[in-house]
Structure 1
Amino acid sequence: MATTQAPHADAHPAPSPLPVYRTDLDGLRGIAITLVACFHIWFGRVSGGVDVFLTLSGFFFIGSLLRHTIASQSTDVGFRETLSPWPRLSRLLRRLLPALLTVLIAVLALTVLVLPQTRWAGIGHEVTASALYYQNWYLALNSQDYLAASSANSPLQHIWSMSMQGQFFLGTLLVALAFAGLLKLCGRVVAPIATPQTIRVFVGLGLLGAAAVSFYWATMRMGVNQQWNYFDTLSRLWEPLAGGLLAVWMPRWRAPRSLRNLATAVALVLIVTCGWWIDGVDAYPGPWALVPVGSTVLIIWSGAAVIGRATGGRHVKTGDTLPPLNRMLASKYPVWLGTIAYALYLWHWPLLIFYLNWRGKNHASFLDGAGLLAVSIALAWLTKRYVEDPLRAGAPSRTAAARAWSVRGHRLSYTAMVTTILVILSVSGAAAIGVWHRHVANLTVDTANLDPREYPGARALLNGAPVPALDPQPTPLEVIRDYPMTSTDGYMSSFEDPAIHVGVYGDPTAARTIALAGGSHAEMWISALDRLGKAQHFRVTTYLKMGCPLSTEELPRMQNGVPYPQCHDWVERVIPQVIADRPDAVFTNSTRPQTGAPGDILPSTYVPVFERFTGAGIPVLGIRDTPWPHSAAGATDTPTCLADGGNAESCGTDRASALNATDPAAALAATNPRFHPLDLSNGLCTPTRCPAIVGNIIVYKDWHHLSATYVRSLTDELGAQIGRALPWTIRGGP
């Protein structure tokens, strides 16, 4: 809560104990939530409104803690009252949890009603992360983009900012209470030195140092991993601390009202427009975030009548304190929006995502968005009126929402009833999430011995095998767990793992060896290579790392654009190790999709790697990459598309948009006779289409990896092509 101070003849007026609510800051919240909702729904951009919320939160919360710290030094306040976090923590929980739990319960229900089963487990994880306030870390660890809304986005992605604020509240509360206790102990043991002014100095210097470290970290990490940086608590910490610094060190000069009005005007223009000329996803929370944060600080400052001994936003009101634009912010409608801002923030995003999924769209039209905004505002008001307000009070209020009923002779207040309902539904939701997680975790994909007459898979395209009318295998829910054996056996190095884990498959005792090396698009072929090795008596050794094809690229990036220097380091170590192990051939990827254009290419950074192997006398089997499923609307998650009612055709991909007419790597064989191109595209696509289901087998297990079951159906064709390149694989042995 923020207040104002009355003028006094003295240059340094004494602060009044009477708090006056800063309704203009409620109005600023209303402007901020309007920007957030509109930019999410219609424009697919980050508005800067969240940064306004963070700054205001820091101003209010740190100001409140500062007042507690100063008051705790009184001899009338004991250690228990000084150090106990529960009074403030309980108020925080009553303010934050009721609306959050209400929305999470609604999200669980809508997930079951609207979304396919393939998405339930992931959203269940996010419900847990949101309820426990670590959603920002969950998103950072899963590298999700906070971009324009589409039907594929998470309905809880926006809770990252609530989680970050919750972490800030808890951490700051514990530090403030420890600091207050330490001051009180020193005052009793040594001497009372903690005057209000010295406390403000110590707190201000601490906040300034922490904010500087956070700002440096946010700026430095932009070029390292901006997707992580966007959600990182340490990177975001400087924003609420900037508001907190103003609560501690309000400037000590009284500015003319005209200057304060100009400051508010400039700040409002910057806040309203910055979403258009700053790409917040790529720029925040780095230096460009100073625009919304600094503008918020200006508006807080401009609304203070006397800028001097104000602390934590506590001022004394005068009859004509606020500048005209601040009075405009304090008018009826901005303030009303500000009072429902928290609930409106919680509701608008999941409603948008569920609507887009229900309608099969990736963008909301103007009318769609207007309807969604109206429903969001209505739900936000209902949530505040009938959930937040009664439970925040901690006791029955005088509102109609708090009247009591008689149940079997016992008086039951509205507050108790709502609390009971929320607890029961939350516990039931948590139990349902646990049951579903166990169900998915216990799913087994037992398709290794499918009858090829019933499930011909690729043979339907390659050999014209008949396809009986049967449900596809694995099911859409099962196929997401249809992993290559190297993943479950632990021979795939993770993104962070620098080690080279060598697995041995096929015939471990064979004299001949094929080395399978590269990233996940090389790994997925192990299901066929293992069968070939066992049948034709050669060994398969694996050298695999997530998202890391064999390339000389010095600054590789992950698929989501995050720099991936670990890949370059790993490739530089794995190539000489493979050469030293002297396999009889290396099997790796030779092409990849062309970025921003149809078709596929042979990257120039792959060729030097091939030459290092062939120069050492080791043949290279270059497997053409498979089509990455997509449509005009964007990338396609095949299992989800099928689970959502799609079929082989509607969830498939146009061949010409994914593949060139010929293998881009084929020409390399003319100049390097030890390079052997392999192309199984005809086992994945018809001349015009790459279906999602072929021969009663689901082709992909996710956005772009083949299911292990489908790879096994390609074994014969892969063996025939390898046999033409390396005749010894057909004969077996030397």
Structure 2
Amino acid sequence: MARTTSAHRTDLDGLRGIAIALVAVFHVWFGRVSGGVDVFLTLSGYFFVGSLLRHAIDAQQQPHITLGAAVNPWPRLARLGRRLLPALATVLLAVLVLTIVILPQTRWNAIGQELTASALYYQNWYLALNSQDYLAASSANSPLQHIWSMSVQGQFFLATLLAALAGTGAIVVGARLFAPLARPATIRTIVGVAVLTVAVVSFWWATMRMDVNQQWNYFDTLSRLWEPLAGGLLAVWMPTWRVSRWLRTVAAAIALTLILTCGWWIDGVASYPGPWALVPVGSTLVIIWAGAAQRPPRGRHARVDDSPPLLSRALASPWPVWLGAIAYSLYLWHWPLLIFYLSWRGTDHASILAGAAVLTASVMLAWLTKRYIEDPLREGLLRNERPVHERPVHERRVHGDPSRRATSARRRHLGYAPVLATVLVILTVAGGVGVRLWSQHVAAVHVDTADLDPRLYPGARALLDGVPVPAVEPQPSPLEVIEDFPATSTDGVMSDFEDPRIHVGVYGDPTAPRTIALAGGSHAEMWITALDLLGSRHHFKVTTYLKMGCPLSTERTPRLQNGVPYPQCRDWSRRVVDRIVADRPDAVVTTSTRPRVGAPGDVMPSTYPPVFERFTDAGIEVIGLRDTPWPHGPDGAIDTPTCLADGGTADTCGTDRAEALDRIDPAAGYAQRNRRFHALDLSDGLCDANRCPAIVGNIIVYKDWHHLSATYVRSLTDGLGRRLGRALPWTTDHDP
């Protein structure tokens, strides 16, 4: 294995530019993952680990380097900060301003949290915890989704830097006791084994987690570590076989072809960072190897063409290198510009012309950011920067005397760099304070609509009972309704996605002799507001057995709405059914239908009746609540509060009834076959003959994409009570 060289590889600058261009093009026009991010991560690992390795070797070879200097992280952290933070802060400030100007207030708090997550480099974990899809762009996507990869890169840089400096210190101390530790070959072996070990563990973890929770796996730092470490491993152990130029050219050409095309034939969201990510990562390694310096030939007359392969020279040409120079800023700018454009136009897709405009604007902003923000702050604030002649070619390609022209530019940077840094810091702090104040404002929003005047706010009674609706502003407001949770959520008795425990809440009349169990997922949970009132009014107890996203089912491989496997649901559902049968309530209330996938209407899944029969065979009555319409229109799903806050109306933010619901409750036929099962349909309290409006009786119906607001459920209490009384007469004060 040959020792890595510190010579700058301009061909890899070009490869970086092509990779980021692929990311932008696939995002804007094709809604697919291109593999460009994986190339970017691999290159980052190659450069960073190679730099740290050289530092570790130099610490042994140069006696004047003290132990403190060898393990001091601040110089490298400062360089990382100068390289990464100026452009990131600029884009985050732009996103903050554009959010206020373009997006409705209902989205401000979520984007504010992502601004913080992005600035502090944990955006990937934020997205993982919030189950955010990273696929096709739409107006509903966050303008900061793409920062997840920057967060992974930042976490990799920090962890690797601290580990490398600690290892360097250990080697410095150990070499005093055992001299062979100071040899470059020994240091290279130690570093290589450490990098290989972590990379193998990371690759195993990424592969194993694909079948457990791919949505989380996609953003998981541990799952992603193997990609930059693969590049780092090549920086440590570069193969040194002598290979002819034409063979290296063919290998690099095949590798580049795979990088350019893998976005079409690999589903990156479903497959990365598992084994399929070896395609872009491995291709990147081949291109790095193909352009690396070859081992000198042996013998006096040995002649081998050692010039770089044709593809490496092409990647090192001016345009790819220039694109590589702005690649970081281009990556930061392209996604928010796309999302804000889609939001401004109210569409989920960019046309060819609109996409071209977005890409052009992204390139222009990237160049301006690099020219007037990145370069001044990187060069102007670093007074002990390396000499001009040691800089990469793309940083000093100027007309005339490069040293004199570059020195002149640096002097200009020195003049206004402190002012630029001060302005950027002030704006960043002000933006952070603004985000914090808005978050506190949203957190302080208190939704208390229990005492709304029923004459002004009839809600569902307007549809069920024909109550007149006066002209007043709807309640809660779009900003307030997103906080309009059912009591079980605020009381903490609902299991979240990762919580395997069964939490039992008690509502209604806790001392009553009869009990209704409310069980299932969030679409069962939202009815607790009405059942709690009915239980208190008619003297029955309501116990809750609830888990996020988990309707009672015998499905072997449950999945979340976005298609992610949810094995925790299967286990919880089995255990909670056993628990309910053992607790022996008088009746169980749960959902009995779901929206039909890929077609209009709704359906009762075949995995629901076996659960119902477990209860009815045990002598427990089952109330099967028909699921409520999931708001959607011609352009897809509708977030009702955001739609209304963005100027929509009850009708334009509503849903066609025929698109959401079958004409007859799909559970009605099963109710005729199982006399202890009662199909209960409240669709007429949500929809008229043709539409399911977003506002009914001056109350906003939904609190998010598909959950009823607690205020609206409260207005359904009487309607639910009448239907429940027909199935269970004892729920109406024992008066049939």
| TMscore range, shorter length | over 0.9
Within a 5 Å distance, the mapping from 1:559-708 to structure 2 comes to 559-708=561-710
Alignment of 1:134-145 (within 5 A): 134-145=122-133
Work out whether residues 4 and 238 of structure 2, in 8 Å CA contact, stay in contact via their aligned partners in 1. no
Deviation at 1:319, TM superposition (A): 11
Q: Secondary structure at the match of 1:173?
A: helix
My pick for the range that moved more, 65-74 or 319-328, is 319-328
The answer as to 2:90 corresponding to 1:88 is no
| 1:59 equivalenced with 2:46 (yes/no) | yes
What code does the residue aligned with 1:264 have? Answer: A
Cα distance in 2 for partners of 1:579, 1:467 equals: 44
Write the mapping of 1:97-496 to structure 2, written as runs, cut at 5 A: 97-307=85-295, 321-393=307-379, 394-395=381-382, 398=407, 403=412, 413-496=415-498
Contact 1:304 1:321 in 2 (8 A): no
Alpha-carbon offset, residue 395 of structure 1: 4.1
**1:541 and 2:529 are equivalent in the alignment:** no
Distance 1:726 1:89 in 2: 68
Within the candidate set 10, 14, 23, 1:27 is matched to 14
Q: 1:14 to 1:562 in 2, by over 3 A?
A: closer
What's 2:402 paired with? none
Q: Which runs of 5+ in 2 are unaligned?
A: 298-303, 384-405
Report the 3-state secondary structure (helix = DSSP H, G, I; strand = E; otherwise coil) of the residue aligned with 1:470: coil
Contact map agreement 2:456 2:469 (CA 8 A) in 1: yes
State the match for 1:69 in structure 2.
Answer: 56
Partners of 1:598 and 1:466 lie apart in 2 by 31
Shift of 1:321: 2.6
Q: Distance in 2 between matches of 1:199 and 1:249?
A: 12
| Partner AA of 2:195 in structure 1 | L
Looking at structure 1, the residues matched to 3 and 602 of structure 2 have their Cα atoms a distance apart, in angstroms, of: 73
Structure 2 CA distance, aligned partners of 1:252 and 1:725? 80
CA distance in 2, matches of 1:553, 1:308: 63
Q: Match of 1:473, SS? A: coil
TM-score by length of 1: 0.94
Letter in 1 for 2:217: N
Of 101-110 and 599-608, more deviation after overlay is shown by 599-608
Name the residue aligned to 1:313. none
Q: Is the 1:250–1:307 contact (alpha carbons within 8 Å) kept by the matching residues of 2?
A: no
* Letter of the 2:364 counterpart: A
Most deviating of 539-548 and 479-488: 539-548
Counterpart AA for 1:594: R
Report what 1:407 is aligned to.
none
Cα drift, residue 731 of structure 1: 2.9
Which amino acid letter does the alignment assign opposite residue 642 of structure 1? L
Q: Percent identity?
A: 71
Contact 1:587 1:620 in 2 (8 A): yes
Deviation digits for residues 155-177 of structure 1, max 9, x if unmatched? 01111111101111111111111
Q: Does residue 38 of structure 1 match 2:25?
A: yes
Tell me, yes or no, if the aligned pair for 2:460 and 2:697 is still in contact at 8 Å: yes
Q: How many residue pairs get matched?
A: 706
- In the alignment, the residues of structure 1 paired with residue 570 and residue 248 of structure 2 have an alpha-carbon distance, to the nearest angstrom, of 54
> Which shifted more, 121-130 or 664-673?
664-673
Distance 2:295 2:699 in 1: 72
- When residues 392 and 511 of structure 1 are mapped into structure 2, their CA distance, relative to the original with a 3 A threshold, is same
**Aligned 1:499-538 pairs, distance under 5 A:** 499-538=501-540
The Cα offsets for residues 549-585 of structure 1, whole Å up to 9 and x where unpaired, read as 1111122112222222222222222222222222221
Structure-2 separation of matches of 1:573 and 1:580: 11
Contact 1:511 1:539 in 2 (8 A): yes
Query: Cα distance, 1:305 vs. partner?
Result: 3.0
Task: Check the 8 A contact 1:101/1:422 in 2, yes or no.
Answer: yes
- Give the residue type in structure 2 aligned to 1:697: I
Q: Which moved more, 1:347-356 or 1:604-613?
A: 604-613
* RMSD of aligned residue pairs (Cα, Å): 1.8
SS of 1:586 mapped into structure 2? strand
- Correspondences of 1:548-563 after superposition (within 5 Å): 548-563=550-565
| 3-state SS of paired residue (1:333) | helix
Q: Secondary structure at the match of 1:587?
A: strand
Paired letter, 1:108? L
Aligned to 2:233, the other structure's residue is in SS state helix
How far does residue 246 in structure 1 lie from its aligned partner after superposition?
1.1
- 2:95 and 2:411 map into 1 onto residues whose CA distance is 26
Question: Where does structure 1 lack aligned partners over 5 or more consecutive residues?
Answer: 1-11, 310-317, 405-411
1:400 Cα deviation from its structure 2 partner:
5.5
Displacement of 1:261 in angstroms is 1.1
Distance 1:597 1:693, change over 3 A: same
Residue number in structure 1 paired with 2:301 = none
1:298 is displaced (CA, Å) by: 1.1
Residue-by-residue CA offset, 1:390-439 (whole Å, 9 max, x unaligned): 111124774558638xxxxxxx9310011001100110011011101100
Q: Is the 1:519–1:547 Cα contact (8 Å) retained in structure 2? A: yes
Q: CA deviation at 1:334?
A: 0.8
Per-residue CA deviation, residues 257-301 of structure 1 (Å, 9 max, x unaligned), is 111111121111111111111111111111111111111111111
What one-letter code is carried by the residue in structure 1 that aligns with 2:22?
L
Distance in 2, matches of 1:337 and 1:246, equals: 24
The residue identity in structure 2 corresponding to 1:188 is R
Deviation digits for residues 479-502 of structure 1 (CA, Å, limit 9, x no counterpart): 001000111111111112222211
Distance 2:49 2:505 in 1: 55
Q: Deviations over 1:133-160 (max 9, x none)?
A: 1111111111111111000111011111
Cα shift at 1:191: 3.4
- Mapped to 2, the partners of 1:360 and 1:13 lie a distance apart of 56
Change (3 A) 1:700 1:307: farther
Given that residues 2 and 295 in structure 2 are in contact (C-alpha distance below 8 angstroms), is that contact kept between their aligned partners in structure 1? no
Q: Secondary structure at the match of 1:464?
A: coil
Q: 1:438 to 1:733 in 2, by over 3 A?
A: farther
Separation in 1 of the partners of 2:661 and 2:589?
21
SS at match of 1:193: helix
**Conservation of the 8 A alpha-carbon contact between 1:253 and 1:308:** no
Letter in 2 for 1:328: A
What secondary structure sits across from 1:403 in the alignment? helix
**Does structure 2 conserve the Cα–Cα contact (< 8 Å) formed by 1:636 and 1:703?**
yes
Q: Tell me which amino acid in the other structure corresponds to 2:74.
A: W
Following the alignment from structure 2 to structure 1, what is the Cα–Cα distance between the partners of residues 134 and 408?
A: 39
1:698–1:707 contact (8 Å) kept in structure 2: yes
Q: TM-score, normalised by structure 2?
A: 0.93
In structure 1, what is the Cα distance between the partners aligned to 2:110 and 2:416? 34
